């Protein structure tokens, strides 16, 4: 594994050339120096906040030929989904090149405004819309970062111009509310936690990934994890867990699941034995998009994790920890 600790440009002579992982965002996305294949660059800022009752997403993203700006909440108990968003042709929003620098990303239209703000350790998700289905909609969420570290991975693929630069930042304390017409969902500190999935890449047209993430409180201490597999991970993986404000980097995590029945039990075990869990699924948030040449599907499975982590040679049992893992198949 290649740990990148010093600031390094991702692109050299226009080609992605530095691959590995970093805990301090050392890879510089020097976008102006890159040589991208026409309409192949994908960029997204994706926030998610999850509880055992509902899960909320906010995303500003583009795939060069289309831009998506939306907020989505699905209620596990009522099985209702609330979606307010825009899908627009070509790139409409300028996204930043560093996930941890102070920034403001804004989309404005006549009946829809969305803003992502990053200021030091505070992030804000703001949205106002007049929706045909729900009427007045509003999002006002504050996320407080609790960690000094996050996991950034620079991943290669077979073609030399393909790459994936991804930062995952979890264990952010959420507060605020989401309003869809008459329906209001509240977020409370130390009950709800958020994550940021920040992605920039030129990806193979057809690809698959597995990704899991969770945040919460265990034994009165903050516990969170990020695990996954995508592309060639010989240089670095996104696997890591956090406990009591410390980071514990993992190399490989074996994730076992049944693609014929995603509601079967899932199993997870790191190669060093310090992270071992089973998940009992409670909800499959299945999404599918098929339009022209685009054919994407994703099973995001929420459930209760039971198992343990090992910290300083001490086994820490973790019971009924609510988190998710997803399996996505994309052609886009």
Total-model pTM: 0.97
Assess if residue 72 is contained within a domain. yes
Q: What is the pLDDT of residue 59?
A: 98
Section 142-157 average pLDDT: 97
Q: Tell which phi-psi region holds residue 181, choosing left (phi > 0), alpha (psi between -120 and 50) or beta.
A: left
- Cα–Cα separations (whole angstroms), residue 223 to 172, 214, 315: 11, 8, 14
Assess if residue 1 is contained within a domain. no
Residues 238-247: tens digit of each pLDDT? 999 999 999 9
Residues 266-324: tens digit of each pLDDT? 999 999 999 999 999 999 999 998 877 789 999 999 999 999 999 999 999 999 999 99
Assess if residue 3 is contained within a domain. no
Assess if residue 236 is contained within a domain. yes
Instruction: Write out the two tokens for 2.
Output: 């290649």
323-327-329 Cα angle (round to 5): 155
Instruction: Give the Cα separation of 301 and 103 in Å (integer).
Output: 32
- Residue 94 is given by DSSP the state P
DSSP strand pairing (27-28 vs 8-9): parallel
Contacts of range 88-93, beta carbons closer than 8 Å, 24 or more positions apart? 89/65, 90/62, 90/64, 90/65, 90/66, 91/62, 91/64, 91/67, 92/62, 92/67, 93/60, 93/62, 93/67, 93/69
Residues 83-117: tens digit of each pLDDT? 999 999 998 899 999 999 999 999 999 999 999 99
Assess if residue 305 is contained within a domain. yes
Q: How does the average pLDDT of the chain come out, rounded?
A: 96
Query: What is the number of residues in the chain?
Result: 332
Instruction: Write out the two tokens for 7.
Output: 């600031």
With a CB cutoff of 8 Å and minimum separation 6, the contacts of 182 are none
Range of the domain at 59: 8-331
Assess if residue 2 is contained within a domain. no
Rg (CA), the chain: 19
Residues 207-241: tens digit of each pLDDT? 999 999 999 999 999 999 999 999 999 999 999 99
Residues 44-78: tens digit of each pLDDT? 999 999 999 999 999 999 999 899 999 999 999 99
Instruction: Write out the two tokens for 66.
Output: 């289309």
Instruction: Give the Cα separation of 234 and 256 in Å (integer).
Output: 20
Instruction: Write out the two tokens for 53.
Output: 């009752």
CB distance 265 to 280 below 8 Å: yes
**Residue 128 binned pLDDT confidence (cut-offs 50, 70, 90):** very high
**Residue 332 binned pLDDT confidence (cut-offs 50, 70, 90):** confident
Assess if residue 235 is contained within a domain. yes
Instruction: Give the Cα separation of 319 and 186 in Å (integer).
Output: 25
Count up the domains in the chain and report the number: 1
E-strand ranges in 102-190 read: 103-108, 112-119, 122-131, 135-145, 151-156, 163-180, 183-187
Q: What is the pLDDT of residue 205?
A: 93
Indicate if the pLDDT at residue 172 is higher than 80: yes
**Residue 250 binned pLDDT confidence (cut-offs 50, 70, 90):** very high
Q: What is the pLDDT of residue 294?
A: 82
């Amino acid at each position: 594994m290649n740990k990148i600790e010093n600031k390094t440009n991702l692109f050299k002579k226009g080609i992605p050339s530095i691959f590995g992982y970093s805990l301090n965002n050392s890879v510089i996305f020097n976008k102006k120096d890159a040589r991208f294949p026409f309409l192949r660059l994908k960029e997204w800022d994706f926030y998610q906040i999850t509880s055992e009752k509902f899960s909320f997403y906010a995303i500003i993203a583009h795939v060069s030929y289309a831009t998506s700006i939306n907020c989505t909440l699905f209620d596990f108990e009522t099985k209702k989904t609330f979606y307010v968003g825009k899908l627009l042709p070509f790139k409409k929003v300028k996204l930043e090149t560093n996930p941890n620098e102070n920034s403001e990303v804004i989309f404005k239209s006549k009946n829809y405004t969305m803003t992502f703000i990053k200021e030091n350790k505070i992030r804000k998700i703001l949205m106002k819309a007049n929706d045909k289905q729900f009427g007045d909609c509003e999002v006002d969420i504050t996320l407080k970062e609790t960690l000094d570290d996050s996991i950034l991975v620079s991943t290669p693929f077979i073609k030399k111009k393909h790459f994936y630069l991804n930062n995952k930042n979890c264990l952010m304390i959420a507060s605020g509310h989401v309003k869809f017409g008459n329906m209001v969902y509240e977020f409370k500190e130390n009950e709800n936690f958020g994550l940021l999935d920040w992605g920039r890449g030129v990806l193979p047209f057809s690809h698959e990934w597995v990704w899991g993430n969770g945040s919460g409180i265990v034994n009165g201490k903050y516990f969170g994890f990020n695990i996954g597999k995508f592309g060639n991970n010989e240089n670095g993986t996104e696997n890591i867990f956090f406990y009591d404000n410390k980071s514990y980097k993992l190399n490989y995590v074996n994730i076992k699941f049944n693609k014929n029945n995603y509601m079967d039990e899932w199993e997870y075990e790191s190669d060093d034995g310090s992270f071992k869990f089973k998940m009992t699924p409670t909800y499959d948030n299945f999404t599918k998009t098929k339009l022209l040449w685009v054919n994407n599907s994703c099973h995001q499975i929420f459930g209760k994790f039971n198992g343990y982590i090992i910290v300083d040679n001490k086994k820490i049992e973790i019971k009924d920890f609510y988190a998710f893992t997803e399996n996505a198949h994309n052609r886009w």
